[in-house]
């Protein structure tokens, strides 16, 4: 069964089993890098919000030999394990005085998002683009966000510069940057650490704490953290901590890898490494760039 047919069958079968005023609807969503995905929302009558469950993993389950009935049961069981979606009052979105305090930046690939960028305000950053989103809710389970679109900017009667300045104020406060050794981050992700590693940025720019040649720059929630490199004075702070110029490897939209220039690896080798990782380990919608960047400490300049 092709994916498009699978989605239709799942929507029909889920609706036949739902009770208590809950209904299922399939939605096609344009994600980052021009990637289209389909999710299913299970919405209770009278509620303004509903969890969105993406269907690719359930299709994989079907392709591995599980029946439609089994996949539907898996989906409904997953739905039952989700925390109830909080009711969000979105009236504040029309009031820029309030909403400006929740605007945050996100770094994406400019070339891969040509269609999206026609409809949203953005600021070029080298060959990438800084777009903006409104933070509605955040928890250990994830973030609820709304992308800022051109129509929002018109309704608020503000400029791109206004939005950019708000995002640069809010980012370091709401989603503080963290610079971690790659070893510490791997252990954290593998849950071998009881608590999160302490960021090197919290250690008073003392280069004695820098033991690994590869460091990871992200944010406190490990979500959309690559944009931390654009935070005010961030590149200068990293150079001071390392005591060296450095390469920036765009690992994904969620993090950047920072490597001191003294490591002895060249741009071509880094470019090969990035392309291989993007092709084998990074989801298409999370790819940020295909090449490294270089920050010259003496000149205070970033180049491709």
- Give the per-residue pLDDT at 266: 82
What mean pLDDT do residues 273-295 have? Answer: 93
Report the percent of the chain where pLDDT is more than 70. Answer: 89
Question: What's the mean pLDDT when you consider all of the chain?
Answer: 89
- 10 pLDDT tier (thresholds 50, 70, 90): very high
Q: What span, in angstroms and rounded, lies between the C-alpha atoms of 81 and 88?
A: 20
The per-residue pLDDT for range 36-94, each reduced to its tens digit, is 889 999 888 877 677 889 999 999 999 999 999 999 999 999 988 876 656 666 677 88
Nearest to 6 by CA among 47, 78, 63, 75: 63
Task: Decide if 234 contacts 256 (C-beta within 8 A).
Answer: no
Which range of 16-25, 154-163, 272-281 scores highest in mean pLDDT? It is 154-163
Which tokens in the block code for residue 170?
């809010």
What mean pLDDT do residues 273-281 have? Answer: 92
160 pLDDT higher than 90: yes
- 282 pLDDT tier (thresholds 50, 70, 90): very high
- Give the per-residue pLDDT at 181: 86
Nearest to 125 by CA among 246, 285, 242, 250: 250
135 pLDDT higher than 80: yes
Dihedral angle computed from the Cα positions of residues 286, 291, 296 and 301, in that order, rounded to the nearest 10 degrees? -70
- Give the per-residue pLDDT at 205: 54
What predicted TM-score, i.e. pTM, was given to this entire model?
Answer: 0.86
Phi and psi dihedrals of 21, rounded to 5? 80, 15
Distances 198 to 174, 184, 185, 201, 219 between C-alpha atoms, Å:
17, 9, 10, 8, 12
Q: How many CB atoms lie within 10 A of CB 5?
A: 9
Which tokens in the block code for residue 134?
């409104």
Q: What span, in angstroms and rounded, lies between the C-alpha atoms of 285 and 21?
A: 34
Answer left, alpha or beta for residue 186, where phi above 0 means left and psi between -120 and 50 means alpha: alpha
- Give the per-residue pLDDT at 184: 74
The per-residue pLDDT for range 167-218, each reduced to its tens digit, is 999 999 999 999 998 877 777 766 655 556 667 777 655 555 565 578 999 9
Beta bridge partners of 216: 180, 257
Rg of the chain taking only CA atoms, in angstroms = 21
- Give the per-residue pLDDT at 287: 96
41-50, 144-153, 283-292: which range is least confident on average? 41-50
Q: Helix/strand/coil (H, E, C) string of 273-284?
A: HHHHHHHHCCCH
Say which DSSP state 196 is in: P
> Angle CA(231)–CA(235)–CA(240) in degrees, nearest 5?
130
The continuous run of DSSP H or E covering 236 comes out as helix 234-242
- Give the per-residue pLDDT at 24: 93
């Amino acid at each position: 069964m092709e994916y498009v047919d699978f989605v239709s069958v799942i929507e029909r079968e889920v609706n036949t089993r739902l009770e208590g005023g809950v209904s299922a609807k399939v939605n096609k969503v344009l994600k980052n890098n021009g990637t289209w995905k389909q999710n299913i929302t299970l919405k209770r009558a009278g509620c303004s919000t509903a969890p969105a469950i993406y269907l690719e993993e359930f299709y994989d389950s079907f392709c591995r030999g599980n029946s439609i009935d089994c996949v539907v049961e898996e989906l409904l069981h997953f739905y039952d394990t989700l925390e109830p979606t909080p009711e969000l009052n979105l009236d504040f979105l029309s009031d820029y005085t309030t909403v400006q305090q929740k605007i945050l930046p996100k770094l994406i690939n400019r070339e891969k998002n040509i269609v999206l960028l026609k409809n949203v305000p953005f600021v070029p950053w080298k060959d990438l683009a800084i777009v903006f989103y409104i933070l509605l809710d955040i928890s250990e389970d994830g973030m609820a966000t709304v992308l800022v679109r051109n129509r929002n900017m018109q309704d608020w009667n503000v400029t791109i510069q206004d939005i950019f300045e708000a995002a640069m104020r809010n980012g370091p406060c709401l989603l503080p940057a963290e610079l971690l050794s790659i070893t510490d981050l791997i252990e954290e992700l593998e849950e071998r650490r009881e608590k999160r590693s302490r960021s090197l940025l919290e250690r008073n720019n003392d280069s004695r704490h820098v033991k690994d040649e590869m460091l990871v720059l992200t944010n406190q929630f490990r979500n959309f953290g690559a944009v931390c490199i654009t935070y005010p004075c961030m590149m200068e702070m990293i150079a001071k901590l390392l005591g060296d110029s450095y390469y920036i490897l765009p690992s994904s939209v969620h993090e950047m890898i920072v490597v001191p220039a003294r490591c002895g690896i060249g741009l071509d080798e880094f470019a090969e490494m990035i392309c291989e990782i993007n092709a084998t380990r990074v989801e298409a919608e999370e790819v940020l760039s295909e090449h490294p960047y270089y920050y010259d400490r003496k000149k205070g300049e970033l180049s491709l």
